[in-house]
Amino acid sequence: MSNPFFSSFNTPFQTIPFDKISMEHYLPSFEEGIKQGLADIQAIVENTAAPNFVNTIEALEKAGSLLDLVSNTFFNLNSCETSKEMQALAKVISPKLSDYANDIMLNMGLFKKVEIVFNHQSSLDLNTEQITLLDKTYKSFVRNGSKLNDSQKEKLRAIDKETSQLSLTFSENVLEESNAYELVITDLENLAGLPEGVVEAAKITAKEKGKENAWVFTLDYPSYGPFITYSENRELKEQLFKAYGSKAFKNNNHDNQQVLKQIAVLRHERALLLGYQSHADFVLEERMAESPTKVFSFLENLLDNALPFAKKELEELKSYINLNNGPEDIKKWDLPFYAEKLKKEKFAIDDELLRPYFKLENVIDGVFETAKKLYGLSFIQRNDIPLYHKDVTTYEVKNAQGEFLAVFYADFFPRAGKRQGAWMTSFINQKMDNGINVRPHVSIVCNFTKPTDSKPSLLSFDEVTTLFHEFGHALHGMCANGQYGSMTGTSVYWDFVELPSQILENWCYEKECLDLFAKHYLTGEAIPADYIQKIVDSSNFQSGLATIRQIGLATLDMAWHSQNPSCISNVKEFEIQVTSKTDLMPSVPETCTACSFSHIFSGGYSSGYYSYKWAEVIDADAFEAFKEKGIFNQEVSSSFYKNILSAGGSEHPSILYKRFRGRDADPKALLRRSGLI
């Protein structure tokens, strides 16, 4: 069988022919991609013409196009449709890619040409986007070792290769532990308190796993979340809570304690080698926050505002538990159950009341309609685009002028080969190629509540906001309209990338938006106005506790990466020490967050988890602009589209944001929205 990667794709919009790609095609494609990429680099180095922006910087930007395509395909599928064979192959490929990246970044002939162009940029007639690319390219070389001596470069190569392998191992261990656990229930009494749809889903899971007369709950959040929230069986909730919190923390073959310590130590060694005090210093140099000092200050200020509210909320919950004859010795696994009851008592609302109004297909229609009203986009389902799994749905996206804008893949349900959580990614980035505007192929991947035999997929309100969040990222990718693929779409500073996603969540709380899609799945009745008011009224329920939880995770991330981690001997003890201010309940000995903290140890968020809260400040401020003039106001939405969604990383994010808002973001906007002032 011929290798599909070695010829043009004969598919709609040149989409990836997943149905034609076999595992045997990947390694030869990677090897050929590396070969072609290095040949592209060599051509730049051997060019006898004087180095200039076109023959050096733009040529470098275009190098290795085959490898980019193969890498995007393989590693996206390794996250959402993996297998033992694919995981084994990833371990073979990753060191090759590390070597390839270093062969480019440590190529002195290439760097000298880049440096010449960089040093002479004042004499070049470059536009803003070209200046940004030149600056980014030069810094990339310096930040990846181009100024090191030969022995230091070899050490850097070894560090990068080992780190890439360890990150894969970390991710695989978390997936293995997640897939290995099952809570099997055979007694009906142990289902007490669980909503009908949750019980039915557990029965389907049991059937899929070959278990008759049983109900199976897993660590996938659509299974775990409802059980921990609604089950009346405290003992089983404890078991499930500990299983969820102890992923890769069991001193077994899938334990991540030594893995994450090695990753952190290697990152620190790399930073020192490049002249930085820590990995956080290295990372934050290219972030809006700029330094660990600023991040810690940001988190501490937020904590000062949120902690009094969080303590008050916890005391209120504990009093409620006592008044309702709850356990005297309150544990972490008790809190979601009673918090949900308290919320229902205070606001007469809960997820099960709302679920019937959030049929997945309706929510998808709703987010599409929101994009249409804001930006004029339309989504046409296509059945002729190859899929990597039968659960995936594809759409052709058109802009306000009816022109082709993007291909959109939607992948919503959990399965064994898919990691937990929700994310957006791209198979093909937008760019200009020989005068042709190459449009992006964008995907969102989630793990939502599955349909059952009697009910369609009915989302919790949290799942609705998750869909809007990831779709916001997708809009950032789909609306990209820049020159260079390395700077379009979501290729922006990591503490800015969450703005398009987090701002879109705000529409979920607006009646004008909910009326577009929130209709009862059986009757078609629109969601009652008083339900919408209850969603708004309850939106800040326990916002203090939610805020300090995020601060705790961000602080844990910074603690691992802003100092020398080689002196950390006990992962669990270190975690307790670091999160002492934000963890208001006694730590559970069997659990350890860091061991399954994929965001920072395998997902690219190292020294960057704070960015969720950082971007919340910006998104709260940005949404106030919409609220001032109307949530579908065309003047505001057009400005957001032009200056944020389509601009990508063409300029520094603070410049882009000021162009949209007319000023810097007001730090108090988040506190106002969260009810923390």
Q: Are residues 19 and 63 in the same domain?
A: yes
CA separation for the pair 77, 409 (Å, rounded): 13
Q: Are residues 213 and 95 in the same domain?
A: no
Average pLDDT over residues 398-407: 98
Taking residue 429's Cβ as centre, other Cβ atoms within 10 Å add up to: 24
Average pLDDT over residues 165-183: 96
Secondary structure class of 665 (helix, strand, coil): coil
Position 174 in a domain: no
Q: Are residues 32 and 96 in the same domain?
A: yes
What tens digit of pLDDT does each residue of 377-388 get? 999 999 999 999
Asked whether the beta carbons of 93 and 110 are under 8 A apart, the reply is: no
Angle between helices 23-46 and 84-105 (to 10 degrees): 0
Asked whether the beta carbons of 378 and 362 are under 8 A apart, the reply is: no
pLDDT of residue 351: 87
DSSP for 498-533, please give it.
Answer: THHHHHHHGGGG-HHHHHHH-B-TTT-PBPPHHHHH
Position 304 in a domain: no
Mean pLDDT of the chain: 96
pLDDT of residue 371: 98
Q: Are residues 77 and 217 in the same domain?
A: no
Position 604 in a domain: no
CA separation for the pair 535, 456 (Å, rounded): 22
CA separation for the pair 132, 137 (Å, rounded): 8
The domain containing residue 59 runs over which residues?
Answer: 4-145
- Residue at which a domain ends, from 145, 172, 198: 145
- 470, 505, 575, 616: the catalytic one is 470
pLDDT at 173 over 80: yes
CA separation for the pair 573, 311 (Å, rounded): 23
| CATH code for the domain of 71 | 1.20.1050.40
Position 547 in a domain: no
Position 509 in a domain: yes
CA separation for the pair 394, 385 (Å, rounded): 7
Q: Are residues 33 and 141 in the same domain?
A: yes
- Residue at which a domain ends, from 121, 145, 169: 145
| CATH code for the domain of 409 | 1.10.1370.40
Is residue 470 among the annotated active site residues?
A: yes
pLDDT of residue 591: 98
Can you count the helices (H) and strands (E) in the chain? 27, 9
Q: Are residues 228 and 376 in the same domain?
A: no
What tens digit of pLDDT does each residue of 589-632 get? 999 999 999 999 998 899 999 999 999 999 999 999 999 999 99
CA separation for the pair 417, 159 (Å, rounded): 29
pLDDT at 562 over 90: yes
Confidence label for 490 from pLDDT (cuts 50, 70 and 90): very high
pLDDT at 1 over 80: no
Q: Are residues 122 and 194 in the same domain?
A: no
Query: Can you state the percent helix, strand and coil of the chain, rounding each to 5?
Result: 60, 5, 35
Position 164 in a domain: no
Q: Are residues 106 and 208 in the same domain?
A: no
pLDDT of residue 324: 95
Asked whether the beta carbons of 650 and 644 are under 8 A apart, the reply is: no
What tens digit of pLDDT does each residue of 270-316 get? 999 999 999 999 999 999 999 999 999 999 999 999 999 999 999 99
What tens digit of pLDDT does each residue of 28-50 get? 999 999 999 999 999 999 999 99
pLDDT of residue 600: 97
Q: Are residues 520 and 437 in the same domain?
A: yes
What tens digit of pLDDT does each residue of 532-544 get? 999 999 999 999 9
pLDDT at 404 over 70: yes
Position 521 in a domain: yes
Average pLDDT over residues 519-527: 97
pLDDT of residue 71: 98
What tens digit of pLDDT does each residue of 179-226 get? 999 999 999 999 999 999 999 999 999 999 999 999 999 999 999 999
pLDDT of residue 122: 93
Residue 642 CA, distance from chain mean position: 23
Q: Are residues 71 and 138 in the same domain?
A: yes
What tens digit of pLDDT does each residue of 84-104 get? 999 999 999 999 999 999 999
Position 373 in a domain: yes
Q: Are residues 134 and 187 in the same domain?
A: no
Q: Are residues 21 and 67 in the same domain?
A: yes
User: Domain count of the chain?
Assistant: 3
Distance, first Cα to last Cα, the chain? 64
- Residue at which a domain ends, from 215, 236, 257: 236
Is 0.95 surpassed by the pTM of this model?
no
Asked whether the beta carbons of 596 and 247 are under 8 A apart, the reply is: yes
Phi, psi of 85, rounded to the nearest 5 degrees: -65, -40
Burial class (CB in 10 A: 0-12, 13-18, 19+), 48: exposed
Q: Which two tokens stand for residue 512?
A: 């004008």
Average pLDDT over residues 5-14: 96
pLDDT of residue 677: 83
